[in-house]
Every structure is written in structure tokens, then in C-alpha cells.
Amino acid sequence: MNILVTAGPTREPIDPVRFLSNRSSGKMGYELAAAFAHAGHSVLLVSGPTALDVPDRVDFLPVETAAEMHTAVAHHLGRMAIAVFAAAVADYTPATVAAEKIKKSGDSLTLELVRTPDLLGSARSPLGFTGTLVGFAAETGPPAAQAREKLTRKQCDLVIANDVSKPGFGFDSDANEVILVYPDHTEELPPASKHNLAHLLVDTILELHQRLKT
């Protein structure tokens, strides 16, 4: 099957030398891409900048900004059976990018930010994706309720929710603790390495895909 995975942070440029970004290392998404490939599937990994090696037997499309990630996803989504959105995409980007390095002047500097495209939120409509749609929800605090709101609003089949304020889990760690939020129920998984968790999540997502197809 063709499977799309997004991973990593995006970088939103402010000027030629500065950008807005976040703490995503890409580990969760890369482990998922590797586990889908290990299970014999054809994987396209669309990733923001990370320090990770591309997993074996995974097609790789590097991007930098949320807009670039949106263009890449929009181009490839139509041929995918499953799409998993693990990337930490910036919700806002600078309204303008300065052509030259911004010089120090005055005691404060105000940046105007504008919304980025919501990749996961546009998968069903306007992009028309009919495959199995899996999102993540990164919350600071108990994530289930907000994940359920995202599941409904973004028309997902499953949202994998993590509390990114818990030390040792979430952003830039080797482990994670997640709650699986389905339309009709919720399931808490025990903490695990991102490697082991990815294999479990891949089995779960493939089973869900089979169930949804029949």
C-alpha cells in the first residue's frame, strides 16, 4: 500500500538568517515511516528539517516551511491509502520575510504572523482524501478532549494524542506516551520507546484500515 507520513518541524523564515520553529526532532514520524516500510509498504516521508537519517526503503521529500509541506502533501495525497500526520507544522508564519538581515533598532520588535495552511485539516476537504486519515495531537496537559475535538473537526479516523509537557516524552525524546482517540472510544497505551511504539501504532493503523475498508 502507499502510505504518506509527515514528520519533523517546519521552519518559517523571518529574514535570511532567522526562522520560527519548534522542538520536534522528527523521531516519532521517522520511526513510523520505518515501521511501515518494515511491514512491506511503500512509504513517502515528507519531512521538515531534522538531524535524522532517512530510514531504509523510504521515499523522502524534504521541505522547510508549512507552505512547502502543504504543496508536497497536496501533490501526493491522492494516491495514498493511509496518511499519518506526525509533523509539528507551524500554525503561524511571518506575514513578510525581510530580504536583508533585520538590524537591531529600538527596544522592541513586533512581528506580524499569519495563519499557515492546515494540512491535516484540508486532507478530506478540499483535497478529497478518502483513505485512512491519522492525525496527532500535541497538548500541554491531558490531551484526550482536545484530541477528540481535532478528530471531529479534521475528519480523522484516529488521532494519536500526546501530552508534550510530560518530562521524557513527546518532543525530542526517545520515548512517548500516547492515547488513541477513535470516533467511538479512547485507548491509553503504556509509555514506550518511539521505536517500539511506532511498530505497535503501525499494526493498529493497518488493522483500522482493514476494518474501514470492509
> What's the CA gap between 182 and 40, in Å, rounded?
25
Q: Are strands 18-20 and 178-181 parallel, antiparallel or unpaired?
A: unpaired
Percentages helix, strand, coil for the chain, rounded to the nearest 5?
30, 30, 45
> What's the CA gap between 12 and 10, in Å, rounded?
6
Q: Which of 72, 170, 179, 198 binds ligand PMT (CB under 6 A)?
A: 170
Footprint on residues 181-200 left by ligand PMT (CB under 6 A)? none
Residue 22 annotated to the active site: yes
Rule CB under 6 A: say whether 94 interacts with ligand PMT: no
Q: Which of 119, 179, 201, 202 binds ligand PMT (CB under 6 A)?
A: 119
Footprint on residues 37-66 left by ligand PMT (CB under 6 A)? 66
Rule CB under 6 A: say whether 205 interacts with ligand PMT: no
> What's the CA gap between 46 and 144, in Å, rounded?
26
Rule CB under 6 A: say whether 150 interacts with ligand PMT: yes
> What's the CA gap between 173 and 171, in Å, rounded?
6
Chain residues that interact with ligand PMT, rule: CB under 6 A: 6, 24-28, 66, 85-89, 91, 116, 118-120, 135-138, 150, 162, 164, 170-172
